[in-house]
Amino acid sequence: MSCLCTHLSLSLSLVCPGPEFWCSISYFELDVQVGEMFKVQSSCPLVTVDGYVDPSGGDRFCLGQLSNVHRTAASHRARLHIGRGVQLECRGEGDVWMRCLSDHSVFVQSFYLDREAGRAPGDGVHKIYPGAYIKVFDLRQCHRQMQQQAAAAQAAVATQAAAVVGAIPGPNSVGGIAPAVSVCSAAGLGVDDLRRLCIVRLSFVKGWGCDYPRQSIKDTPCWLEVHLHRALQLLDQVLHTLPPREHAL
Residue 219: give the domain boundaries: 20-138+199-243
* 1 residue type, one letter: M
What's the half-sphere exposure (Cβ side, CA atoms, 13 Å) at 236? 10
What's the pLDDT at 241? 75
Residue 145 lies in a domain: no
Which CATH number does the domain housing residue 129 bear? 2.60.200.10
pLDDT in tens, 29-52: 999 999 999 999 999 999 999 999
Angle among Cα 225, 39, 189 to the nearest 5 degrees reads 45
- Domain count within the chain: 1
Residue 161 located in a structural domain:
no
Is residue 211, in this structure, part of any structural domain at all?
Answer: yes
Q: Is residue 165 part of a domain?
A: no
Quote the pLDDT of residue 169: 54
Q: How far is CA 215 from CA 98, 125, 202, 209, in A?
A: 24, 11, 14, 5
Reported as a single tens digit per residue, the pLDDT across 139-176 is: 999 999 998 888 887 777 777 767 666 655 555 444 44
pLDDT in tens, 164-220: 666 555 554 444 434 434 444 444 567 788 899 999 999 999 999 988 999 999 999
Structural domain contains residue 143: no
Q: Residue 176 domain-assigned?
A: no
Q: What per-residue confidence (pLDDT) applies to 12?
A: 54
**Does residue 8 sit within a domain?**
no
* pLDDT tens, residue by residue, 96-132: 999 999 999 999 999 999 999 888 877 789 999 999 9
Asked if the structure places residue 144 within a domain, the reply is no
Give 60's pLDDT tier (boundaries 50, 70, 90): very high
